[in-house]
Structure 1
């Protein structure tokens, strides 16, 4: 790759002991990311914990163990809405190195309501990063909870997971992301420019870029965080595509705004949550 890349921070990766496929040698997925991290100048990475499948049981402990010896790893632990952590557990997790939690709401508008108010309050008091994987209907259902957790840093993954919009009319794209746009007036909420292949599988993900342009206008570049979605994304695109910020988006941003999207904003959030 020609030229020296400026350091970036990756707002969305997964690390599983035996890989996303569950078939790799222990630690092989980490080894590959370390190689890619050097290639693409990644200096920090937000690890999105996931235990929503039995084959990924123990992922929280695994990423905490990795973070203890790899200071560039910033773990968010999987939070099961059916079994939310107590305020004491949140305090303990933070003391062990977790910067926050990953919450998977799917498309269920009721799921966020299963998390008690005392838990949302504790997450907010602890200044947690909350990586939220939720489709627009689930974001709409969680709107009040996400707004009220104003001490936390809410990061909506994958453009808010609007679904496959390849070939969709502009009005349909706008309709799908409307619940995400509505949250833009909550200053502690940001959106991840990650998983673009899920919105449009063909690089450079034109339909995803169209959605991203609307969200950049609503949130501003400082609240749009680039993420690779390693390693699941490698089943859909090449590593050069996965780690790219599409030129159409890059060309519309100033140099300073691009630096925010590619890591500056995530670093600022990490500094605040670790203070």
Structure 2
């Protein structure tokens, strides 16, 4: 099995975590290097984030890491309205990033991002970029046309599409209603979803194996198929809630064939990265 992690973070000073320090317990890069060796992770999609003042500079940090470690594929953080100042997507792609990441909490953020994508879609498509979206269902309702225009990219919605914390296991109908804006995008073959952040759908968040996430995983498998789902660890924030070994064993994949399970756990991301490499060769 070829493992690849579709969602993790690396911060120069560590993710502060719920207790004020990185739950990784040390230098995050060194810790993840050890995790890679233990779990056989070939490549990792590192997600940039600068949405709070304490994280400003994360893009520059990731650019340096990607230049030094060939297993790192980084996507640069962009605010909803796009980068401020000179340059644009082409600047980040020329710095070694494989794409961009955006965090969209509401209609306003989604509308701002849509306006930016209208301008930048040709550049992203030519590069076969990976576009990582932390988008709530409310934001996703506004993204359809913009995402459709990214048909040369791989667009990945993070954390099951952010269904929110569930106090009990939702019915299939309830899961379908919550993720309706996302599953409507399943008609677009370049759109996929990350099986990541399952702890955020459960209550309590440390209640592995997160049974409340199961209906969402089942729904996404049904609508997108195993070849468009991507496992992600959400290192190191996930370690505030579960161990890495638990994050690496998400609920809902047990009924898959060995081939489909391997695709979700790494093969799909590796193919997407190969497509990007081919587009930029």
User: Same fold judged by TM-score > 0.5?
Assistant: yes
| 1:153–1:15 distance in 2 versus 1, CA, 3 Å | same
Of residues 258, 261, 267 in structure 1, which corresponds to 2:261? 258
Cα distance in structure 1, aligned partners of 2:106 and 2:143: 11
Contact 1:165–1:173, Cα closer than 8 Å, also in 2: no
Q: Which has the higher contact order (CA 8 A, sep 6+)?
A: 2
Cα distance in structure 1, aligned partners of 2:157 and 2:167: 21
Contact 1:16–1:62, Cα closer than 8 Å, also in 2: yes
Q: For 1:228, what is the secondary structure of its paired residue? A: coil
CA deviations on 1:189-219 (whole Å, 9 max, x unpaired) are 0000000111112211112121111111111
Gapped runs of 5+ residues in structure 1?
A: 1-5
Contact 1:112–1:141, Cα closer than 8 Å, also in 2: no
State the match for 1:71 in structure 2: 70
Of residues 217, 223, 229 in structure 2, which corresponds to 1:218? 223
Contact 1:136–1:160, Cα closer than 8 Å, also in 2: yes
Of residues 3, 20, 39 in structure 2, which corresponds to 1:8? 3
Q: For 2:189, what is the secondary structure of its paired residue? A: coil
Q: For 2:142, what is the secondary structure of its paired residue? A: helix
Cα distance in structure 2, aligned partners of 1:214 and 1:272: 27
How far the C-alpha of 1:57 sits from its partner, in A, is 0.6
C-alpha RMSD of the superposition: 2.0
How far the C-alpha of 1:10 sits from its partner, in A, is 0.2
State the match for 1:142 in structure 2: 143
Q: Please give the TM-score of this superposition, normalised by the length of structure 1.
A: 0.91
Q: For 2:254, what is the secondary structure of its paired residue? A: helix
State the match for 2:195 in structure 1: 193
- 1:44 correspondence with 2:43: yes
The total of aligned residue pairs comes to 267
Contact 2:117–2:146, Cα closer than 8 Å, also in 1: no
**Runs of 4+ more than 4 Å apart:** 22-25, 85-88
Q: For 1:234, what is the secondary structure of its paired residue? A: helix
Contact 1:134–1:156, Cα closer than 8 Å, also in 2: yes
